[in-house]
Each structure stands twice: as structure tokens, then as C-alpha cells.
């Protein structure tokens, strides 16, 4: 049983101003896994004041000083990777291989990327007689979700540290354990007092207090579209910068070639990873309509092969994060049935043999792009297969969405894959499984504003100053 009732403010673990606690539920067992404190406005004010005070000195540190700190954090992160993985299993139900693998590995990857970018980043660039200087924006509020707790937290913290910003982290209430361990890592590594602060609590209280605070210069938020809209509204009164990484309903286009069956199976299995709780998931699988029978056989086989169960064991898929999320996903599955989509795998209820925990069947529909299950982000292991007539039709379907976060193209003709990817209106596209920590990640349309990852992630935390006549 974890007991995380203190916040990290100004280099110290401190009790909340007004004691209030919440239980954290293990989604695999439905049992209480730990307790956290729920902060209030007074806690936010203390954290912001500490960050504002620390900014004066931290913003003036050298590249070498920041690199030394990031390297110290890297050593401590490596030492505690197993603890982080265990926490992720417990807090959000990721299976052991995924929690100890990609979940923790994403955090380590973003840390290594920040180190690599910082070594060569051009904070000053001469343009004739003018010097263009990039300077830290100031105090940053980092608001993160529960679905990839290390990825979404580390992709914000480390660029902010590297660029000279100070920050307040509000971790997700549903999955707060790994953030607590990360705060311990930063403390042990020697992050100066006030540079990093963490306040646990609800988004409606802590998120609102940070978004409206006049001494917060920037908000970086990852989460749902409605909350992102509210944060923009809250931040407008103080004209602060807002970076948003929101929802997605990403298209996965499989080209008509000899690799069709293998690519359909890979796309189906990939959709079920992390129980489908991934904003960039390829949840719309676009396939040649003329080969739908082959597609259905390949996708059904892949979905049926996904093992679901106790995340501490050898399974491919654990539960979804909460009872509320489980119920939302069940409602969407019912909606698909009501709309007339053809169910080819999975369906309503828990998988056979499981009677406890928020486990969802790996579910696949064949439908059309106008169905609700193809329009809205389900955030669960539910895939919608949609047939296309030709490449132009595939691109038209892919772009017919309010979202534009990610996309995928698979096929043996790489030139055709590239051409299709160029036409997709989305911010991050993987061609035949491509992946790159240095590639900017972010969305078009209602999927958000700004970019994270790599050098572009640094730019989120920097202001641009023109020094005329500098030469």
C-alpha cells in the first residue's frame, strides 16, 4: 500500500495546506493500491512562488550546468527503472513487459534526447548585425495524463529543465505513483530547490489554479479536447502560452499489395497495445475494399490472439485505467452495434474467465467513416476497419476527421507510402513502423497546438529576443 501524501515544493516534501486525501485504485484488482493528497489553490500558490524565485538563478545557468544535472538524473533514473515499471503496472494496469519496457523506456528516451539536443542547441544565432536569442519562457505548468505516465511527464520536464525554465507538475490523479518516484529521482539527482515542484490533485482544482495564475508563464497540457479548450480559456486572461496535445482518431492506411495480411495483423495488434489508451493509436484501419475478406480474417486472427489478464503476468493486454473508462468503452461498443457496424472480434463485457478488474475484450468492427465509433476518440481497444476504393479515396477518408494527431501508412512500395503520407493532414506519421525520438510530435486541427519531442520540444519553452545592432 503506497502512501504519497506529501507534495514536492521548493526542494522539500511538504504536507498540503489543507489535508484531503484520495484513494488510488488498482484497475486489475479493483483494490485500493495507495493514497495521495489532493492539493488546493494554496498549495499551487506555494509551488508557483518557489518556481518564480528559483527562475532568477536557474534561467542564468550555463549549458554545461544543465547537462551535468540531466546526466545525474539519467543515472538515478536508470537505478530506479524497475520501481517505475512496478508503479506503472499498479497505477494504470499496463502489462509487465510493456510497463518495464516501452513505458519506462520512453521516459529514458526523452531524457537522452534532451541531453543530445542540449549539447548542440543554438540558443543564440547571429543574423547580420542582429543577434537572435532564445531565452527560457519562465515558470511552466505541466499537466499530464494517466495513459503514458512517464512518456507524457518526461517529454515536458526534461526540455523545460534543459532550456532553463522552472516548473510545477500536476500528475494525473488516476495514475500518480510513477510521478512520485520521478520526483524522488529529481530530488536525489540534485535539482535545485524550486526548479521542479509537484502538486497532486484534481484537474478541476490544480489545473485551473495553474492555468489562471498570473505568475505562470506557460501551460503545457496533454489530455482531452474539452479540457484543452477550458485551459485555453482560463489562460487567456493572462495571455500565457499554451501548448496542447489533445485527442486523435488516427488513420492507418494499408496499401493493396502482397504484405496486406501481415500489415493488417500488425496494425490490429498495435491498436490493442496499452489497452488502446493511446492518443496516437491507429484506431481507423483503412484497407482496400476489394480485399475485405482477407482483411477480416487477418484482423480477427490478430485480435483473438491478444492475451488479456493479470498485468503482472505474461499477457499482452491489461485492464483499462478505471471503472469510468471501462463504462465509456462499453457504451461505444454498444453504439457500434446500434449503428450497424459488423463486429468481427471482441464485443461487450469482460473477456471470458475474468470477473474482476476493468478488462475489455480486444474489439474490431467493420464500419463506415460516418459512424460515431469512427468519429470520436474511444480510448480503448476498439478498432474500426473501413474500406477504400482507391488511394484518393483512402486519403479522403483519412482526412475526414476533426482530429489530426497521428497517422500510419504500411506497404511494400516505399515511394507510394511516402506520397500517401504527404497527403495526410496530420502532424506525425509513421511509415512502415518508423519511430524517432527527435521527430516533432503534435497535431493538426483539434488535436492541439505546438510540438513536443526533440529540438521542437525545446522551442516550446523558449522566448525569442531580437538584439538589434548586437554586432
The set of catalytic residues is: 245
Could you give the CA distance from residue 53 to residue 146 in angstroms, rounded to a whole number? Answer: 30
* Backbone torsions φ then ψ of 409, nearest 5 degrees: -135, 130
471 burial level (CB within 10 Å; 0-12, 13-18, 19+):
exposed
Chain mean position to CA 402: 19
The H-assigned helical ranges of 279-435 are 292-304, 323-339, 372-375, 391-399, 414-423
Chain mean position to CA 274: 12
Alpha-carbon torsion, ordered 50, 56, 60, 66, to 10 deg:
0
348's enclosing H/E stretch is: none
**Pair 289, 256: CB distance under 8 Å:** no
Q: Give residues with Cβ within 8 angstroms of 355, minimum separation 6.
A: none
Alpha-carbon torsion, ordered 196, 201, 205, 207, to 10 deg:
40
Q: Go through 348-386 and write b for each residue having 16 or more CB atoms within 10 A of its CB, e for each that does not.
A: eebeeebeebbbbbbbbbbbebebebbebbbbbbbbbbb
**Pair 151, 453: CB distance under 8 Å:** no
DSSP assignment letter at 341: P
What is the per-residue DSSP string for 291-331? GHHHHHHHHHHHHHT--BS-TTSS-SB---S-HHHHHHHHH
| Per-residue CA distances from 27 to 176, 309, 424 (Å) | 13, 11, 36
| Nearest of 346, 337, 330 to residue 272 by alpha carbon | 346
Could you give the CA distance from residue 242 to residue 334 in angstroms, rounded to a whole number? Answer: 36
Could you give the CA distance from residue 58 to residue 192 in angstroms, rounded to a whole number? Answer: 8
Alpha-carbon torsion, ordered 83, 73, 198, 9, to 10 deg:
120
Amino acid at each position: 500500500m503506497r502512501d504519497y501524501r506529501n507534495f514536492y515544493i521548493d526542494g522539500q516534501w511538504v504536507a498540503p495546506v489543507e489535508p484531503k486525501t484520495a484513494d488510488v485504485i488498482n484497475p486489475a484488482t479493483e483494490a485500493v493500491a495507495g493514497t495521495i493528497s489532493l492539493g488546493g489553490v494554496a498549495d499551487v500558490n506555494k509551488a508557483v512562488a518557489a518556481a518564480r524565485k528559483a527562475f532568477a538563478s536557474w534561467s542564468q545557468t550555463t549549458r554545461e550546468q544543465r547537462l551535468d544535472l540531466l546526466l545525474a538524473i539519467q543515472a538515478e533514473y536508470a537505478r530506479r527503472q524497475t520501481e517505475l515499471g512496478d508503479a506503472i503496472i499498479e497505477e494504470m494496469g499496463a502489462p509487465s513487459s510493456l510497463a518495464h519496457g516501452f513505458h519506462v523506456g520512453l521516459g529514458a528516451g526523452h531524457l537522452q534526447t534532451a541531453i543530445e539536443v542540449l549539447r548542440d542547441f543554438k540558443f543564440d544565432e547571429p543574423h547580420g548585425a542582429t543577434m537572435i536569442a532564445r531565452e527560457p519562457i519562465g515558470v511552466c505548468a505541466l499537466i499530464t495524463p494517466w495513459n503514458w505516465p512517464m512518456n507524457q511527464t518526461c517529454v515536458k520536464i526534461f526540455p523545460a529543465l534543459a532550456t532553463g525554465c522552472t516548473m510545477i507538475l500536476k500528475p494525473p490523479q488516476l495514475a500518480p505513483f510513477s510521478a512520485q518516484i520521478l520526483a524522488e529521482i529529481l530530488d536525489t539527482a540534485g535539482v535545485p530547490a524550486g526548479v521542479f515542484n509537484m502538486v497532486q490533485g484534481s484537474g478541476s482544482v490544480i489545473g485551473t489554479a495553474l492555468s489562471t495564475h498570473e505568475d505562470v508563464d506557460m501551460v503545457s497540457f496533454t489530455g482531452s479536447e474539452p479540457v484543452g479548450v477550458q485551459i485555453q480559456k482560463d489562460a487567456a486572461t493572462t495571455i500565457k502560452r499554451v501548448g496542447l496535445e489533445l485527442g486523435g482518431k488516427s488513420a492507418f492506411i494499408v496499401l493493396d499489395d502482397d504484405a496486406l495480411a501481415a500489415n493488417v495483423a500488425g496494425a490490429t495488434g498495435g491498436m490493442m497495445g496499452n489497452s488502446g489508451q493511446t492518443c496516437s493509436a491507429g484506431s481507423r484501419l483503412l484497407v482496400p475494399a476489394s480485399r475485405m475478406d482477407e482483411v477480416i480474417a487477418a484482423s480477427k486472427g490478430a485480435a483473438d490472439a491478444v492475451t488479456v489478464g493479470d498485468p503482472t503476468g505474461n499477457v499482452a493486454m491489461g485492464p483499462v485505467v478505471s471503472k469510468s473508462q471501462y463504462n465509456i468503452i462499453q457504451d461505444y461498443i454498444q453504439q457500434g452495434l446500434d449503428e450497424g457496424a459488423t463486429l468481427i472480434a471482441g464485443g461487450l463485457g469482460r473477456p471470458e474467465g475474468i470477473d474482476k478488474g476493468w478488462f475489455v475484450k480486444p474489439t474490431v468492427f467493420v464500419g463506415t467513416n460516418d459512424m460515431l465509433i469512427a468519429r470520436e476518440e474511444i480510448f480503448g481497444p476498439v478498432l474500426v476497419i473501413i474500406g477504400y476504393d482507391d488511394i484518393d479515396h483512402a486519403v479522403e477518408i483519412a482526412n475526414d476527421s476533426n482530429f489530426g494527431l497521428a497517422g500510419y501508412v504500411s506497404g511494400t512500395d516505399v515511394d507510394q507510402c511516402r506520397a500517401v503520407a504527404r497527403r495526410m493532414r496530420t502532424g506525425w506519421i509513421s511509415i512502415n513502423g518508423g519511430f524517432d525520438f527527435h521527430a516533432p510530435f503534435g497535431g493538426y486541427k483539434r488535436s492541439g497546438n505546438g510540438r513536443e519531442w526533440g529540438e521542437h520540444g525545446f522551442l516550446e519553452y523558449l522566448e525569442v529576443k531580437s538584439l538589434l545592432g548586437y554586432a
